[in-house]
Each structure stands twice: as structure tokens, then as C-alpha cells.
Chains A and B, each alone.
Chain A
Amino acid sequence: MAKLNILPVPTFARLGVNYAERDITAFGRKDIAVPDGAEQHIIQNISSDSETNVAVGSGAKLKLVQVFDGRTRCAAILRTVLADNAEFELIQLYLGGDTVSEAVTELNGYKAAFTADIGYNIGNGGGLDLNIVSVHHGRRSTSDITAGGVLRENAVKTFKGTIDFKTGAAGAVGNEKEDVILMSGDVCNKTVPVILCAEEDVVGNHGATIGRIDESHIFYMKSRGIPEEKIYELITRSKLARVIGKIGDEQEEKRICSALGWGDELE
């Protein structure tokens, strides 16, 4: 068994968050290089074990959308290196399945910027182990990681988000946030938001909220005649729609909405 999704600094072993294990024979490999000053928008549908290596040149912009279709068990590794003023926007959608996914972004350049928007909807028998690592080397580099989703039935999910400020990353700013809605008494949610800091002149923030749907919201919607089942569906939809709306490709958005049984319209 290979150890994947290794937490950059281990913590209490009994919590079971230090790594994930998978029996993997080979990764499908893809390399993406965005030349200096260029701009690319790439959509990946991932359904098998894969490794993607990305380099974003000076002043270049990359928007990478990764959709995990939820029908398979797979592992994905994404390694990205950002040069001066490079911008990398990562959109990830997990629509079920049993996935181990790691994204490590090295912000090497001055003012390199990384944003990640991650949405998930994990249900019966599903699992998700996410390891998002943002390593700040460059001065005034920024990272902003937002994850959120819904866990249903007996879903098991681990979110590990690390912002790592290295010495010399003066003026860097890193933020991470996760907002999880739990919809069943049988779910298991693990959240590990880590900040590692070896530089004085930085600002790092992380926040997490984990819990049920606010009872006052349910009461309000019920008072407006919406059945409870529909309320849960609306909440799930709102969590995913936030991320789907950022894909920026109408065809892909329609395909995902259709796969989720929403017709082909986001709203």
C-alpha cells in the first residue's frame, strides 16, 4: 500500500489523519506548462489514478477545473509551481465516489497567487481524503483556499489544508476556510486546517465550521411550505452551485448539472 496525502507535519496518530493508503499500480501522467504571459483554461474529468504536473510562468494565468465524477475509486495528485506574478485558480468538484486527492502548490515567485474553490457532495459508501498544501516562498505571495460541501448517509471525509510560510516570504498572506454540512448521524468528518510559519511578516488565517443545517433556517423554509426533503436538496445544491458557477464553461456546467439530476440549469 502506498502512503498518499501525507500531512506536512504529523499529528496525533490515533486521529487517523496523517496519511491515506491506496493500492496503486500506476498513475496516468499529464504535464501542463503555461508560458510566460499566457492564459489558459483547462478542464479535466478525472476517473482514474492520475498525476498532473503544472508550471505557470511569469505573469501567466491558469484556471484548472478538475471534476471527479463520483462513480469510481481513484487517487489524484496535482503538483503546481508558480513563477513571479503567476496566477493559478483551481476549481475542484467531488461528486461522490471514493477519492484521495492531493494538490501541492509551490508559490515560488514574487506576488504569485493561488486560489482554490472546492465543493463536494459525498453520500452512501463514499469517501474523500483531501490534502491541499500551499507553500509560500515568494514575497507578497497569496493563497486563498475555500472548501465546502455536504456529507450524507455514511460518508467519510478528511480535509487537510496547509498554509506553509517559508522564511523569506515577507508580505505573504494565506487564508483557508472550510464549511461542512452534515446530513446524517452516520457521517464522519475530519478537518485539519494547518498553518506553518517561519516568517514574521505574514498573515495567516484559517476557519472552519462543521455542523448541521441551522434549525431556524429549516423552520423558516418549512413555514413557507417547502418539505424537509426538498430543504436538504436545496442546501446541497447551493453548496455545489457556488463552485460550479466558477467553472466558466457553459457546456461543462450543464453537463455537471445534468449529471446531478438538476436538468441543465444551474439556478
Chain B
Amino acid sequence: MKEKTQVADINRSLYDFRYDEDESSFLNSGITPEIIREISAEKGDPEWMTEFRLHSLEIFGRMKMPEWGPSIEGLDLDNIVAYIRPKKRMQTDWSDVPDDVRETFEKLGIPQAERESLAGVGAQYDSELVYHNVRKEVAESGVVYTDLESAMHDDRYAEIIRSHFMKLVPPTDHKFAALHGAVWSGGSFVYVPKGVKLEIPLQSYFRLNARGAGQFEHTLIIVEDDAYLHFIEGCSAPKYYEASLHAGCVELYVGNNSTLRYSTIENWSKNMYNLNTKRAAVGENAKVEWVSGSFGSHISYLYPMSILNGRGARAEFTGITFAGEGQNLDTGAKIVHNAPDTSSYMNTRSISKSGGISTFRSSVVINGNAVGSKSAVSCESLMLDSKSRSDTIPTMVVKTDKADVGHEARIGRISDEAVFYLMSRGLDENSAKALIVSGFAENVSKELPLEYAVEMNNLINIEMKGSIG
């Protein structure tokens, strides 16, 4: 008898553990001017930041919810705790981090990864960074990797922060960018000086442990001219029945002739509303490479955006989305060509299973000044049952005749022709189908750094026991 192939849901047990929280460390839930002032006072913000937060709150109050994408009606912002006081200030030695927090990150493998393959690590637990460290030789090269709050209070970086913070993603961008501007806390600041090429990656890991809370970290990365950086971001949370909210913000400035690779494996729990905003400004002959894996969350809105401002600037986006039971993941990318001879390439895969909804949504805009620009988009979707749903909604806007734009997409199940071809080469049917399914995801996983490719293999447990369909 034929057995149906089982493509397992993501195994979340590795991430689904929690420690009790001291609720006296929680600020009141809700988003009000009083809460904002309290957060600002807790963090010792400079005056301009307090004003920025309050101004963002005003914008948040008058902006409408997004009118497209999955429903976020289940998210009650009045019940979200925007800030949780840390038990201890940020440390640079894991032995000084509170035991439960340290154990959390040890279970996630962060200290081990730091020892083996990273140039520096930042670890955020709820609202604040609890650990930040960078290798001595990396610091000596002039690379700055610290938490955003410390940098904001350091005379050497304060003006840089002020002149770049939420300039790429202004609070007016959308309602949750405004919310982020009002309540942001934690996140990393990275500065790579001119000519420095960092061969090994930096990594920040964001863990939201508290029930019914929000995490609003801000990552600001400035890569000067002729430099190279690979930055890795990871995130997870234990599962609760109450909704949680992640509304982080990432702003990347890539200098002329530089390359910034930004890799993310997002594995939030299935009660999370992940409404994150990521954006890069790319200079002359510079390149931004996004590698993105979206596996967790109940609802996701995630579209990293690249603005190609310099002649010859390039953007690449490689992404995979796996939507299982109870998940509605709306992911993709946006690219704006804003200078001559720019180029972009998007390559995505999505898998829907057990009632999961996966939507690929993208936009490529080629402005009138972007003469000689080229863009190609390729997206493929695999439906593993008819309870699920997979949508593809790309948009291309071209405002010059001197550009070339191509788009191709495919949706469906495993092709009989491909199975037949492989069987004609000597594979049995089961092995042929197994090869096709694993190959579908591997196209993206090969772009991940090794340690994350291993994590992805742990995340997706593909069992091939018969025919799909």
C-alpha cells in the first residue's frame, strides 16, 4: 500500500522552553504617553530621543492599520507590555549574566557559536541586551559592535546615531514603524570603518521570554566604503496562548564599493505577530545580500527593502518561508532602483502545509533616473496539501525605457516529469521524490552560513516514505 509522504512540521521543542518572569519588572501594558515617558526615563534617553518617542507615538495614533496582508485583529496592543526592566545591566562575560538567562542562550547554542565561529555576539533577552562582546582583534581593527543605547550615550558615536536613527525607516513609514519609534529598546549598533573587511560574522540573537510582551529592538549598521560585513540575526520565543508582538527595525547603510550580507533565521513561536521592518541604503558599486528564513510566527509581515542609491549598486534577496498549521506568513522583498546601472535579483521558495498560508509579496521599482538597470525575480511555491494556501503577489513598476526587468513564478506540487526523469536515471520513485523536495529547500539553505544551515536542517524534518500527492 502506498504511504503518503509526511513532511513534518517544524520541530519547535528546542525553542519551546521558558523561565518564570518577575512581573514586578514589567511596565504596565498598553501604549500611552505615560508609558513612553517611563520607558525613556528607565533608559536615560537624551532629550532628543524622548521627544522623538513622543512624536512617534502621535504618528502611531493617527495612522491606520495596514489595509493589505493577513488579519492582525487578534493583536490587542492594550494588552502588550512594551518594556521589561532587565535584572542586571549588560555584561561582556557570560558568567556574569543571570543564571536563567545564560542557560537560555546556552540551550540555543549562542556561547558555543561565539567561541567557534563568530567575531562578536549580542544577546537580547526581552527588552534589553544582556550580553555583548566582540573579539579583541576585531575591536582593534576599529569595528564597533555594541548595544544601541551605549553607543547613543558615547560621545564618539552619539552624533552618528542621531543622524542615522530612523532616517531610513521614518516613523511615518507605517503604523508599526511609528510604534517602534515610540517604544524601541535594545538592539545593536555596528560600525565598520573604511577598508575593513570582517571575514567572520557578527551575530545578534533576540529572545522574547515574557508572556504577552513586545520586543522592539533596533539594529543600526553602518558599513563605510570598501568594507565587508556579514551580520547574522536569530530570534525565537517560547509559546504562550496570549499574543506577543515583535516590531523591530533594521537600518543598514552600505558605503561605496562595500558588501553587507544580512542573514536571518526567524523562528518565533506561533503566538507571535512579527511585524518587522528592514531597510538598506546602498552606495556606489556596493552590494547588500539578504538571506532570510521565515519559519515561526503566527502572523508575519516581512519585506526587507533595498534602496539602490549609488551607480552600480546591487541587491540580492534569497528567502525561504515554511508556513505550517496556524501560520499566515506574508513575506517577500522590496527593491528601489534609484541610480543608473543598478541591478537586483530575488530568489525565493515557499512551502505551505497543514493549513498554513504562505504569501510571497514583492515590489521592484525602477525610477526614471535608474537608466541601464536590471532586475530579475524568481519565486517558486510548493503546496503539500489542499488545506493550505499559497499566493504570489509581485509588482513591478518601471519608469524608464532603458531598463530590463524579468519575472518568473511557479506554483504547484511535485512534477511528474521530474520524477520520471530521475527514475529514468536509476532512482526509485521514493528516492526521486525525496530528492526533489530536499532540493527545493536546498536552493536557499546553501546560501546560509554553515551554522545556520545546520539549524535549518534541524528545523525542517523531511521524511520521505512514499509518494507525495
Contacts and interface: CB of A to CB of B under 8 A. Distances in A.
B227 to A, nearest CB: 32
Contacts of A15: 363, 365, 395, 397
A266 interface: no
B397 A11 contact: no
A193 B334 CA distance: 16
Contacts of B327: none
A260 interface: no
A184 B386 CA distance: 45
Interface string A184-210: 111111111111111111111111111
B402 A185 contact: yes
Given A11-B361, A211-B403, A212-B403, A203 B396 contact: no
Interface residues of B, number: 40
B441 to A, nearest CB: 18
A64 interface: no
A204 to B, nearest CB: 4
Contacts of A12: 68, 334, 361, 363, 395
A10 interface: yes
A81 interface: no
A190 B402 contact: no
B392 A194 contact: yes
A182 interface: yes
A208 B395 contact: no
A112 to B, nearest CB: 19
B264 interface: no
Contact of A182 (B381, B388, B389, B400): B400
Contacts of A18: 68
Contacts of B400: 182, 185, 187
B456 interface: no
Nearest to A16: B397
B395 A17 contact: yes
B406 A208 contact: yes
Nearest to B303: A12
Contacts of A207: 406-409
B390 A13 contact: no
Given A9-B391, A194-B391, A211-B404, A204 B397 contact: no
Interface string A154-168: 000000000000010
B383 interface: yes
B232 to A, nearest CB: 28
B99 interface: no
Most buried by B among A184, A199, A203: A199
Nearest to B358: A197
Interface of B: 67-68, 334, 361, 363, 365, 368, 371, 381, 383-386, 388-413, 469
26 contacts: A9-B391, A11-B363, A12-B363, A182-B401, A183-B401, A185-B368, A185-B371, A187-B399, A188-B399, A189-B398, A190-B396, A193-B394, A194-B392, A195-B409, A195-B411, A196-B392, A197-B392, A199-B386, A200-B385, A202-B411, A203-B412, A206-B409, A207-B409, A210-B405, A211-B404, A212-B401
